Structure 1
Amino acid sequence: MDTLAPGILLIADPFLKDPNFARTVVLLCEHQEEGSFGFVVNRQFEQKLDELIPAVLTPNIPVFFGGPVQMDTIHFIHQLPDLIEGGSEVFPGIYWGGDFAAVVELINAGVLDLQKIKFFIGYSGWSSGQLEGELTEKSWIISSINPPVLFSGDEQEIWKQSLQDKGTNFAMMANFPIDPSLN
């Protein structure tokens, strides 16, 4: 698989130095000629959802650093299309966005399965041709999505597991040191 499309994962090369994306996995939600965007799915943000959105009454719902663009926006992906209207399907059974006010109501009512939704502050964006250039530079490894890993709740393992899911050649990369010069 080497085609950019919604629903694929961009796994950061083990030696990618950009601090925003080192050892990250990005779920690509949109890819068009004008540009692309997605969310880093494995880097937890320091604040919780109720700290960012006062209308949320349930404490300790994690928020993830979606990327460095528009850090004043909240986004979400989910597996709950029957409860959350207006989402865009980015992969079979995985949706981006929808009616945020309804999400807040469902959280406050205690009826939303929090294992099937993930919130992000900011997003990752690329202008026309930028992501293709980064692929040419081998900054990213393209992979198919593994929904259970994406929503596993074990963010520390998503990068390693995504590499291991690609097979033996990539599984070895999952254990590369962060800075090989320290070896």
Structure 2
Amino acid sequence: MNPVPASSDPERRPAASAAGRPSAVAAPPVSIGTLDDVRPGALLVAMPMLTDPTFAGTVVYVLDHSATGTVGVVLNRPSEVAIHDVLPGWSDLAVEPGVFHVGGPCESETALCLAVATGRPGAALQTVDGDVHLVDLDSDPDELGHGIAGLRVFAGYAGWSPGQLGAEIAEGAWACLAGQPDDVVSTVGGAALWRSVLGRQTGRRAVLSTATADPSQN
């Protein structure tokens, strides 16, 4: 067998490790989905590499996506503030545990409400995707009760400027997955919802559900 000739250009030789062997090429970051998969009703699921405490271990439901940016709410961060204490008229329609969820770092004093409703939406409902709607909290909850399967109220929201989310997805910080109405009104929260969403996927997406949702908690 003829030996492989050495490169005459030292710049093209593989870098040697401390043991004298060529160093391995770094593996690219895991990327599931692209910016083209982001749309109202989609989910952004934080990957284990995302360690920023603002979003580590989160599942974000996308409300709007356009050339001007992306807006969504975090589904799996319940607070300790009861809806009954702030919006008593809406508490009977809210799913357990009946508290505000921390929707994101933007405008944390602003309340947003998502509901799953069947049938034709009324004036108080703005369709996001399918049976999921934004609710006008200034409306009369008694007029909506018959068509509402459940709702969740959020304090604040998550927002990305143009180009920001695309860069984070390319880095492998987020998985872009299809959402379901049940995700919005699930009584499961925290890491359990994160694992539930990934666990219903196929292939390597499902395998990711066995990882730690928030590595900072190790």
TM range (shorter): 0.7 to 0.9
Alpha-carbon offset, residue 83 of structure 1: 6.8
Is 1:63–2:100 an aligned residue pair? yes
Q: Secondary structure at the match of 1:14?
A: coil
Alpha-carbon offset, residue 55 of structure 1: 6.2
Partner residue, 1:77: 114
AA aligned to 1:85 is A
AA aligned to 2:103 is G
Q: CA–CA distance in 2 between the matches of 1:113 and 1:145?
A: 21
Q: CA–CA distance in 1 between the matches of 2:80 and 2:164?
A: 29
- Please give the TM-score of this superposition, normalised by the length of structure 1: 0.83
Identity %: 25
Q: CA–CA distance in 2 between the matches of 1:5 and 1:103?
A: 29
Using a 3 Å threshold, how does the CA distance of structure 1 residues 62 and 115 change in structure 2: closer, same or farther?
A: farther
Partner residue, 1:26: 60
Partner residue, 1:126: 160
Alpha-carbon offset, residue 176 of structure 1: 1.4
Asked if the contact 2:116/2:149 (under 8 Å) is kept, the reply is no
Partner residue, 1:87: 125
Alpha-carbon offset, residue 48 of structure 1: 1.2
Alpha-carbon offset, residue 168 of structure 1: 2.9
Partner residue, 1:170: 205
Unaligned runs of 5+ in 1: none
Alpha-carbon offset, residue 151 of structure 1: 1.6
Name whichever of 133-142 and 77-86 sits farther off.
77-86
Partner residue, 1:49: 83
Is 1:179–2:215 an aligned residue pair? yes
Q: CA–CA distance in 2 between the matches of 1:132 and 1:69?
A: 19
CA deviation profile, 1:120-161 (whole Å, cap 9, x unmatched) = 000001111111111111110000012223322111321111
AA aligned to 1:65 is V
Asked if the contact 1:29/1:38 (under 8 Å) is kept, the reply is yes
Asked if the contact 1:164/1:170 (under 8 Å) is kept, the reply is yes
Q: Secondary structure at the match of 1:116?
A: strand
Asked if the contact 2:72/2:159 (under 8 Å) is kept, the reply is yes
Alpha-carbon offset, residue 174 of structure 1: 1.5
Alpha-carbon offset, residue 101 of structure 1: 2.4
Q: CA–CA distance in 2 between the matches of 1:41 and 1:168?
A: 24
Unaligned runs of 5+ in 2: 1-32
- Please give the TM-score of this superposition, normalised by the length of structure 2: 0.71
Give the structure with higher Rg (CA). 2
Superposition RMSD on alpha carbons, in Å?
2.7
Q: Secondary structure at the match of 1:79?
A: strand
Alpha-carbon offset, residue 113 of structure 1: 7.8
Using a 3 Å threshold, how does the CA distance of structure 1 residues 179 and 55 change in structure 2: closer, same or farther?
A: closer
